[in-house]
């Protein structure tokens, strides 16, 4: 875990399926009241996915300062991949979230990524914005969603590896199962919330190995 500011607590969990993985995230401080978070999940596993994440990181790094809103950033990121890497068939899902403490709002945009969650007044709300994964269609428009983000609010960002695990009986946890786990810990601070989710997902899996890389990042606007 690390602190970007006095106001925001961050807790992260990253667990690649093998030594290298296809999940990548970037947490960037734009100024003292504005933070930008990027989380991506490259298709495939292992070395190929890990090489893809190196390209994703390099391309995102060039653009992360340039655009006011996450949907604009995704528009140009997608076009860069269409123009430069189309022959490599590089595809990935991702989300970009801007936390603006001055306005007490978050701005959210998504490219084919699963629904993410914000916990506000101990209610779990989904963060969903329409847009296809990066690398498929040129000039793709991405939706921008905003939500209030007040002291006490928490954001959970994750890749689909978190809920795609199977129990020993062969039953998939799924997004419904994940919501039930989050609901159990939603009143706690971000660290026990993240640890509780990870431990319960592991308990669900029991002796099975993870099917995919698992990344879970939590943000809490401290009261």
pLDDT tens per residue, range 138-179: 999 999 999 999 999 999 999 999 999 888 888 999 999 999
More reliable by pLDDT, 21 or 123 = 123
**Residue 127: count of CB within 10 angstroms of its CB:** 20
Longest dimension (CA), the chain: 49
User: Residue 4: its pLDDT value, please?
Assistant: 64
Q: Model-level pTM?
A: 0.94
Provide the angle, in degrees to the nearest 10, between the axes of the packed helices 46-63 and 70-85.
120
- Give one DSSP letter per residue of the chain, joined into a string: -EESSSSEEEEEEEE-SSSS-SEEEEEEEEETTEEEEEEEEESS-HHHHHHHHHHHHHHHHHHTTT-SSHHHHHHHHHHHHHHHHGGGT--EEEEEEEEETTTTEEEEEEEBPPPEEEEETTEEEEE----PPBTSSTT-----EEEE--TT-EEEEE-GGGT--B-TTS-B-HHHHHHHHHHHHTTS-HHHHHHHHHHHHHHHHTTSPPSS-EEEEEEEE--
Mean pLDDT of the chain: 91
Position of tokens 């690649």? Answer: 16
pLDDT tens per residue, range 88-122: 777 899 999 999 999 999 999 999 999 999 999 88
Q: CA 15, 18, 19 angle in degrees (round to 5)?
A: 85
d(CA 106, CA 146): 5
d(CA 170, CA 55): 35
Residue 24 in contact with residue 42, Cβ under 8 Å? yes
């Amino acid at each position: 875990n690390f602190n970007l500011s006095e106001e925001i607590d961050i807790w992260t969990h990253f667990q690649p399926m093998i030594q290298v993985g296809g999940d990548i995230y970037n947490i960037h401080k734009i100024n003292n009241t504005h933070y930008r978070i990027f989380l991506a999940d490259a298709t495939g596993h292992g070395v190929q996915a890990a090489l893809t994440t190196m390209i994703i990181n390099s391309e995102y790094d060039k653009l992360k300062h340039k655009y006011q809103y996450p949907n604009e950033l995704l528009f140009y990121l997608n076009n860069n991949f269409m123009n430069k890497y189309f022959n490599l068939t590089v595809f990935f899902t991702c989300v970009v979230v801007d936390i603006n403490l001055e306005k007490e709002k978050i701005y959210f945009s998504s490219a084919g990524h699963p629904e993410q969650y914000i916990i506000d007044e101990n209610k779990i709300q989904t963060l969903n914005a329409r847009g296809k994964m990066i690398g498929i269609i040129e000039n793709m428009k991405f939706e921008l969603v905003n939500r209030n983000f007040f002291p006490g609010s928490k954001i959970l960002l994750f890749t689909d590896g978190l809920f795609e695990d199977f129990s020993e009986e062969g039953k998939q946890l799924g997004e419904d199962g994940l919501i039930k786990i989050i609901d159990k810990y939603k009143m706690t601070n971000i660290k026990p919330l993240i640890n509780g989710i990870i431990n319960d997902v592991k308990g669900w899996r029991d002796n099975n190995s993870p099917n995919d890389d698992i990344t879970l990042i939590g943000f809490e606007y401290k009261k």
